[in-house]
Amino acid sequence: MKVALLIEYDGSDFAGWQIQENARTVQGEMEKAFRQLYSAEIAVHGAGRTDTGVHARGMVAHVELPDESPMTLFKLVVAINSTTPHDIVIRDLRPVQKDFHARHSALARQYRYSIKRERTALDRNYVWAIRRDLDRSAVERVTALLLGEHDFTSFSKRSNDVEHYRCIVEEALWDFDGTNLAMTIRANRFVRGMVRALVGAIIQVGQGILSEEQFELLLHRPEDIARAKYMAPAHGLVLEGVSYPDRFGLWKIHEPLQFSK
């Protein structure tokens, strides 16, 4: 039986999603939990790879469970959550068709990056605290340039397993609330480090460190200019959710959960 999982995790103490030797990862902890429950190796396939320190509220993964599994999905959620560490929570499980794949079936991913324009103690692991003033209009102008299809080579880390750096951005906007601000961005795909590099460059524009013209060159002429030089810290970034074709019957981003029984 193939099952999709909706996963929330605090990335503070993880070396990212993907299994690595001699490092604590979300995928590694998940597979350890399934191994304890089923006394078998069960691969956990995620919708993507979050970097070291990045959090998730709506990561989606899938697993193939033994057909003779005695537990209902609701009981399996309880069982997994009693086995995984405190910084991982399975929010829901749903059965899916055999052709479902958490990564390949995804239509879009949505991230949110949070910033506070003052020092903070309680939120220090989840927001980027900056002190300099920002030009809000400049921030919004360059963010609007991201909509549509672009080559994000300049806003990425080099990777040997990426065929191209073109992504289609469906939404990119900032919310401002007093000293708090956050960027929400949704795209069909993201290349490694893309959101953090974009946020870093946008904030540099807002602070007058990077001109709007320089930002446009990074976006529109990646072959003529070096990669963005500054990446926002990982701890301000959260994977909010992943969207799929309706036929799979999976979660919508931010929808209230109706738990499987």
- Strand 45-46 to 55-64 pairing: antiparallel
- How far is the C-alpha of 94 from the C-alpha of 236, rounded, in Å? 29
**∠ CA 237-241-244, rounded to 5°:** 145
Q: Quick check: 104 and 70 in contact, CB under 8 A?
A: no
Question: Is position 51 annotated as part of the catalytic site?
Answer: yes
From 51, 87, 92, 161, the catalytic residue: 51
Catalytic positions are 51
